[in-house]
Structure 1
Amino acid sequence: MQREFHTYRLPNGIRGIHRQVKGNVAHCALVVNAGSRDERSDEYGLAHFAEHAFFKGTQRRRAWQVNCRLENLGGELNAFTTKEDTTIHATTLRGDFAKAAELLADVAFRSTFPDRELEREKEVIYDEINTYKDSPADLIYDTFEDMLFEGSELGHNILGRKAVLARYNGDAIRRFTARTHTTDQMVFSTIGNLSERSVEKLAQRYFGDFPATARSFTRAVPAPCAPFERQVTKHTHQLHCIVGSRAYGIDDPRRLPLALVTNILGGPSANSLLNVSLRERHGLSYNIEASYTPYGDCGIVAIYFSSDHANADRCLELLDAEIDRLRRTPLSSRRLSMAKKQFVAQLAISMESNEGYMLGAGKSFLTHDEVDTMERVYAKIEALTASQLTEVAEEIFASPSRLIYR
């Protein structure tokens, strides 16, 4: 690995990755390879609940002390849960970095999950669930993923259901985290104006004394899913639609050409094919976007749009036309060069955020045990050919599934 990153491993199996940059602000995160995918059938929603519970008190601190430890210094402490990982992260001034590292270790390993605090936190999550249910643009993504991965642990909502959450207590969280939050599945990711030696020394001081634990289970690969087309009556003012399919996992070499195809189709820029066609040229949709999410052994591509009910059929015709064009007609040299340049620039701009860089490096190191430098990523993008893009577009979008909220 090039020296853009310093990596190390503690005796208990926790891995570390650090990037030294200039500046007064430092970021750190404990990235754990455990998410909603690792829940058993009677544990749905528990990974996300555990993430909230980490802030409810430790052997050393009450809940308010956890929440105020860094905020009183002008810093931040936060966490999030995905299908495959849980991340606790902090931002502080460089001089307060040691305090942030100690706090992350405290909440990750010494949380007590007091039932009284957990009962109050359930109300917060219930409100989060209600907010989510009131947003069909968010809800349709999870419904689509549930259908696409039906029968798999990837196919259920991260937040869980109120009736099930009501039954969970501290013991349930302790059982779940003991099984899934093992030291061989953790990375301590850091970025800031701190020397490699000092960061590794702090990591050893705050994380190194916890006993080594190892994962005893493996994730099951989702069974194949036949394409589907379904409509759900929601009585919404707008029609909401997702068109998509299963895709490549995070280790598949076709992941990068698919990411570029997805960006060309419906990326964040105003000149994406679908934005130009549905919004700018025909004025049929305000919201249209394409996304690609790779998981460990598979992935999902989803194209979402909303429109007036009367415009839905025309939107789908235009969407299908743009997809078919990408499947059958290779991009010209000029168009391909422009698409690559745009994609590289978007990545470079996103990496200007040190926090985003730190989180991305931690996830990559957790998954691959290495991190590509941005120069290597740019070189891989530059090497992509028009035929590669056509091939992945044909494979992924040959028989897409479709879900409509009316």
Structure 2
Amino acid sequence: MNEFTTYRLPNGIRGIHRCVRSNVAHCALIVNAGSRDELTAEYGLAHFTEHAFFKGTQRRRAWQVNCRLENLGGELNAFTTKEDTTIHATTLRGDFPKAAELIADIAFRSTFPDRELEREKEVICDEINTYKDSPADLIYDTFEDMLFEGSELGHNILGGKKALARFDGNAIRRFTARTHTTDQMVFSSIGNIAPQTVEAVADRYFGRQPATVRTTHRTAPDVRPPFERTITKHTHQTHCIIGSRACGIDDPRRLPLALLVNILGGPSANSLLNVVVREKHGLSYNIEASYTPYTDCGIVATYFSCDHGNTEQCIELIEAQMRRLRTETLTPRRLSMAKKQFIAQLAISLESNEGYMLGTGKSFLLHEEVDTMEQVYAKIEALTAAQLAEVAEEVLGVDSKLIYR
């Protein structure tokens, strides 16, 4: 790990830094707490908490939080997933300490004033309405809710308006006290800053927070039988997801599955689904396959939209390509090309220093280590056609379907 510098503050907060030549610095506090850590009455609270962080602290009012870095030309933002909450900032290199101080201020000293929270609820209600107006986005959450029904993962991140109306500052404080513990935090950074300086800045602004340890534990969702469901949405097009449960982040099958999904329906124009469904038959403008790993499980999903009358043909073509991957071993040439393509896509995606910083921080949060890109490339090159066929048989064989019409 000589590409990275890592450290641990006395209160348990971990840090990881990568030094690069750039006038711009990126940093983030990544917390291992998301919507799957909510109690039943708290659905939507992790996302609401993320918004509430920007509504004022013991030192700053809401407008001062929002203007602190923006007045310097920088950016401050945050996002929530099912498993983590991230507050991140981008600044010029010389303003890095200001970014770290601001992130620490809103993460540990937010006051959650009632008036600001009530106003923000209206913003989130509008966000929920916008989401509901996008069937291409909504269908993913609906499908995942069905696939993981009854589990921590079986509810969407935004939550509902009725629950949102009940939330207040005390609810946020209870949630963060239970889940935003220092042993579940990583401060990740990247920029042309000496590692010793980064650690000193982190210690100054994050190290004084009292040490806390999470006492709750996540439970892996039970395996549910496949399902097929059609929901009437009166949309101009049919929207469909075909998918199944898959392996999690720590599973050794994760990498061969990621390569397999990229071959099936990755972003390139020569993916199997794009070639067959879009280019050869002209049935769909939007078609893709994705793999989303969580800590203890995952989901593989193929999504497409098409004219209502073409739905069944699209499904037949997709299932034929999945069957092909299960029954036909990739030739050495095809496998070599797929590996090269996948490696190039990863390399290009990591040209973004911000993306690199967020990815390494999440990896360090979960695994206490980060592979260099050379190590990742070597692991991809070592994959065999037999491994991909085995994973295809396990994951692409039994699928569930959800259709919006």
TM-score calculated relative to the size of structure 2: 1.00
Question: Which residue number corresponds to residue 205 of structure 1?
Answer: 204
Alpha-carbon distance, 1:359 to partner = 0.1
Question: Which residue number corresponds to residue 132 of structure 2?
Answer: 133
Whole-angstrom CA distance in 1 between matches of 2:250 and 2:156: 24
Alpha-carbon distance, 1:224 to partner = 1.1
Question: Which residue number corresponds to residue 314 of structure 1?
Answer: 313
Whole-angstrom CA distance in 1 between matches of 2:91 and 2:103: 12
Q: Does 1:352 align with 2:351?
A: yes
Aligned to 1:358, what secondary structure does the other structure show? helix
Whole-angstrom CA distance in 2 between matches of 1:89 and 1:272: 33
TM-score calculated relative to the size of structure 1: 0.99
Question: Which residue number corresponds to residue 150 of structure 2?
Answer: 151
Give, as a single letter, the amino acid of the residue that structure 2 aligns with 1:246: R
Whole-angstrom CA distance in 2 between matches of 1:257 and 1:61: 48
Whole-angstrom CA distance in 2 between matches of 1:349 and 1:71: 28
Q: Does 1:27 align with 2:21?
A: no
Whole-angstrom CA distance in 2 between matches of 1:173 and 1:55: 13
Give, as a single letter, the amino acid of the residue that structure 2 aligns with 1:285: S
Aligned to 2:310, what secondary structure does the other structure show? helix
Question: Which residue number corresponds to residue 97 of structure 1?
Answer: 96
Aligned to 1:166, what secondary structure does the other structure show? helix
Deviation string 1:131-162 (CA, Å, 9 cap, x unpaired) is 00000001100000000000101000100001
In structure 1, runs of 5+ residues without a counterpart are none
Alpha-carbon distance, 1:398 to partner = 1.1
Whole-angstrom CA distance in 2 between matches of 1:392 and 1:258: 6
Question: Which residue number corresponds to residue 364 of structure 2?
Answer: 365
CA RMSD of aligned residues (A): 0.4
Alpha-carbon distance, 1:46 to partner = 0.1
Question: Which residue number corresponds to residue 122 of structure 1?
Answer: 121
Question: Which residue number corresponds to residue 70 of structure 2?
Answer: 71
Whole-angstrom CA distance in 2 between matches of 1:400 and 1:247: 11
Question: Which residue number corresponds to residue 50 of structure 2?
Answer: 51
Aligned to 1:90, what secondary structure does the other structure show? strand
Whole-angstrom CA distance in 1 between matches of 2:381 and 2:145: 35
Q: Does 1:182 align with 2:181?
A: yes
Deviation string 1:24-69 (CA, Å, 9 cap, x unpaired) is 0000000000000000000000000000000000000000000000
Whole-angstrom CA distance in 1 between matches of 2:369 and 2:171: 34
Alpha-carbon distance, 1:221 to partner = 1.1
Question: Which residue number corresponds to residue 380 of structure 1?
Answer: 379
Q: Does 1:109 align with 2:124?
A: no
Q: Does 1:326 align with 2:344?
A: no
Give, as a single letter, the amino acid of the residue that structure 2 aligns with 1:336: L
Whole-angstrom CA distance in 2 between matches of 1:177 and 1:339: 43
Aligned to 1:342, what secondary structure does the other structure show? helix
Question: Which residue number corresponds to residue 246 of structure 1?
Answer: 245
Alpha-carbon distance, 1:94 to partner = 0.1
Identity of aligned residues (%): 79
Question: Which residue number corresponds to residue 259 of structure 2?
Answer: 260
Deviation string 1:62-106 (CA, Å, 9 cap, x unpaired) is 000000000000000000000000000000000000000000000
Aligned to 1:19, what secondary structure does the other structure show? strand
Whole-angstrom CA distance in 1 between matches of 2:323 and 2:123: 45
Q: Does 1:273 align with 2:272?
A: yes
Question: Which residue number corresponds to residue 288 of structure 2?
Answer: 289
Aligned to 1:129, what secondary structure does the other structure show? helix
Whole-angstrom CA distance in 2 between matches of 1:334 and 1:134: 44
Whole-angstrom CA distance in 1 between matches of 2:318 and 2:13: 46
Question: Which residue number corresponds to residue 226 of structure 2?
Answer: 227
Give, as a single letter, the amino acid of the residue that structure 2 aligns with 1:282: H
Whole-angstrom CA distance in 2 between matches of 1:110 and 1:147: 38
Give, as a single letter, the amino acid of the residue that structure 1 aligns with 2:342: F
Deviation string 1:198-244 (CA, Å, 9 cap, x unpaired) is 00000000000010000011001111111111111111110000000
Whole-angstrom CA distance in 2 between matches of 1:15 and 1:104: 15
Alpha-carbon distance, 1:3 to partner = 0.7
Give, as a single letter, the amino acid of the residue that structure 2 aligns with 1:190: S
Whole-angstrom CA distance in 2 between matches of 1:177 and 1:353: 30
Aligned to 2:40, what secondary structure does the other structure show? coil
Question: Which residue number corresponds to residue 17 of structure 1?
Answer: 16
Whole-angstrom CA distance in 2 between matches of 1:203 and 1:18: 11
Whole-angstrom CA distance in 1 between matches of 2:381 and 2:358: 25
Whole-angstrom CA distance in 1 between matches of 2:44 and 2:250: 27
Greater alpha carbon shift after TM alignment, 24-33 vs 219-228: 219-228
Whole-angstrom CA distance in 2 between matches of 1:191 and 1:200: 12
Aligned to 1:7, what secondary structure does the other structure show? strand
Whole-angstrom CA distance in 2 between matches of 1:19 and 1:134: 40
Whole-angstrom CA distance in 2 between matches of 1:400 and 1:52: 36
Aligned pair count? 405
In structure 2, runs of 5+ residues without a counterpart are none
Whole-angstrom CA distance in 1 between matches of 2:404 and 2:51: 31
Aligned to 2:79, what secondary structure does the other structure show? strand
Alpha-carbon distance, 1:304 to partner = 0.2
Give, as a single letter, the amino acid of the residue that structure 1 aligns with 2:152: E
Give, as a single letter, the amino acid of the residue that structure 2 aligns with 1:8: Y
Give, as a single letter, the amino acid of the residue that structure 1 aligns with 2:343: V
Alpha-carbon distance, 1:397 to partner = 1.1
Deviation string 1:164-223 (CA, Å, 9 cap, x unpaired) is 100100000010001000000000000000001000000000000010000011001111
Whole-angstrom CA distance in 2 between matches of 1:148 and 1:10: 39
Whole-angstrom CA distance in 2 between matches of 1:14 and 1:267: 36
Whole-angstrom CA distance in 2 between matches of 1:211 and 1:90: 23
Whole-angstrom CA distance in 2 between matches of 1:316 and 1:400: 12
